[in-house]
Amino acid sequence: MLDGTESWVPDELAFAGRENRDPTHAKRYDQIEDSGAANEVAMLQDWGMGANAKVVDMGTGTGQFAVAASPVVAHVTAVDISPVMLDELKAKLASLGLANVSCELAGFLTYRHSLEPADLVYSRYALHHLPEFWQAVALSRMASFLRPGGLLRLSDVVYGFAPDETAQRLQSWIDTYAPAAPGDQPSWARADLEEHIRDEHSTFTWLLEPMLERAGFTIEEAVYSEDQVFARYLCVRR
Ligand SMILES: C[S@@+](CC[C@H](N)C(=O)[O-])C[C@H]1O[C@@H](n2cnc3c(N)ncnc32)[C@H](O)[C@@H]1O
């Protein structure tokens, strides 16, 4: 298993996305992104996430899920490679007095799980920051600290269409967002989507799914957005 200290492991902060290294973006993140964390927690409780659950949130960002899960599980380890995103979560934890969330400044390729195996690994909109080869390695690392029978909840921008549909599908997606204009409320804009497609590493569902299986997961549920741009997986560690 990759240790994460190898000299040839990529600098994950360099791959983490321009905006995620930007303190201004980190401060406004919760205004522009609602991860639907309460619904996710309820859905995962239906799948067996109970009061004794040990949870790891990989690429936690400002920790919307970690904060929502905290009152109903035993412990959450909130992992992120970006100090400015993690600082936002630390401030929230202090003001809310949530003592069962610990923050780890680390990445998919470097996080070392020192606790007993986790019951749930959660990761939303983060894995696409790694190139595909490294996504496969990251999935295998996540499987290594999840107990057999434990859950992986993975959501991301993952393309469900064929390569020759790329221009039409992605242009339609971009066209659903307006260009940023002065005085706008903070929100995602066309330029953010263009940057995502150009500079980040979202892959195809039909490439990611075999990677999940190969890493030791069985995909129990896969939900795709109508525009074939987002995918959500509920997987069980074999
Ligand atoms: C779009 S935000 C998503 C945050 C949160 N999961 C959510 O759903 O609101 C992506 C997060 O992934 C983090 N990230 C990017 N690359 C990472 C890596 N290699 N390891 C861990 N976190 C990473 C970024 O710093 C950022 O906080």
Strands 75-80 and 101-105: parallel
Domains identified in the chain, total number: 1
pLDDT for the residue numbered 178 = 80
Q: Which atom of ligand 1 is nearest to the CA of 21?
A: 25
pLDDT-above-70 percentage for the chain: 100
Burial class of residue 58 in the structure, from the number of CB atoms within 10 Å of its CB (0-12 exposed, 13-18 middle, 19+ buried): buried
Q: Determine the Cα–Cα distance for residues 77 and 115; give it in Å rounded to an integer.
A: 10
Q: Determine the Cα–Cα distance for residues 178 and 224; give it in Å rounded to an integer.
A: 23
pLDDT digits (tens, 9 = 90+) for 140-190: 999 999 999 999 999 999 999 999 999 999 999 999 988 778 888 878 999
Query: Chain-wide mean pLDDT for the chain?
Result: 97
Nearest CA to ligand 1 atom 8: 124
With the most atoms of ligand 1 within 8 angstroms of its CB, the residue from 30, 55, 85, 89 to mutate is 85
Q: Determine the Cα–Cα distance for residues 140 and 153; give it in Å rounded to an integer.
A: 14
With the most atoms of ligand 1 within 8 angstroms of its CB, the residue from 9, 129, 142 to mutate is 129
Q: Which atom of ligand 1 is nearest to the CA of 110?
A: 20
pLDDT range class, residue 87, cuts 50, 70, 90: very high
pLDDT for the residue numbered 132 = 97
Determine the average pLDDT of the residues in 17-26.
96
What residues contact residue 4 under an 8 Å CB cut-off, 6+ apart? 106, 107, 109, 110, 111, 112
Q: Is 166 inside a domain boundary?
A: no
If you measure from the C-alpha of residue 5 to the centroid of ligand 1, how many angstroms do you get, rounded to a whole number? 20
Dihedral, 186, 223, 173, 29 alpha carbons, nearest 10: 20
For the domain that residue 49 is a member of, what is the CATH number? 3.40.50.150
pLDDT for the residue numbered 45 = 98
Task: Give the CA distances from residue 21 to residues 74, 112, 142, in Å, rounded to whole numbers and listed in that order.
Answer: 30, 22, 24
pLDDT-above-90 percentage for the chain: 95
Q: Is 72 inside a domain boundary?
A: yes
The verdict on pTM exceeding 0.75 is yes
Q: Determine the Cα–Cα distance for residues 52 and 94; give it in Å rounded to an integer.
A: 23
Tell me which residue has tokens 């905290």. Answer: 70
Determine the average pLDDT of the residues in 202-207.
98
| 159 closest CA partner among 201, 129, 114, 199 | 201
CA triple 210-44-114, angle to 5 deg: 75
Question: Sheet containing 217-224: which strands, arranged edge to edge?
Answer: 101-105, 75-80, 54-58, 118-124, 146-157, 230-237, 217-224
Nearest CA to ligand 1 atom 26: 61
Q: Is 191 inside a domain boundary?
A: no
pLDDT for the residue numbered 149 = 98
With the most atoms of ligand 1 within 8 angstroms of its CB, the residue from 80, 108, 124 to mutate is 80
pLDDT for the residue numbered 204 = 98
pLDDT for the residue numbered 182 = 82
Q: Is 137 inside a domain boundary?
A: yes
Q: Is 182 inside a domain boundary?
A: no
If you measure from the C-alpha of residue 127 to the centroid of ligand 1, how many angstroms do you get, rounded to a whole number? 7
Ligand 1 neighbourhood includes 35 CB (under 6 angstroms):
yes
The boundaries of the domain holding residue 66 are 12-159+202-237
Determine the average pLDDT of the residues in 41-46.
98
Q: Is 177 inside a domain boundary?
A: no
Which segments of 111-217 does DSSP mark as H helices, in order? 132-144, 166-175, 190-199, 205-214
Q: Is 46 inside a domain boundary?
A: yes
Nearest CA to ligand 1 atom 23: 59
If you measure from the C-alpha of residue 84 to the centroid of ligand 1, how many angstroms do you get, rounded to a whole number? 11
CA 131 from centroid of its chain's CA atoms: 14
pLDDT digits (tens, 9 = 90+) for 96-149: 999 999 999 999 999 999 999 999 999 999 999 999 999 999 999 999 999 999
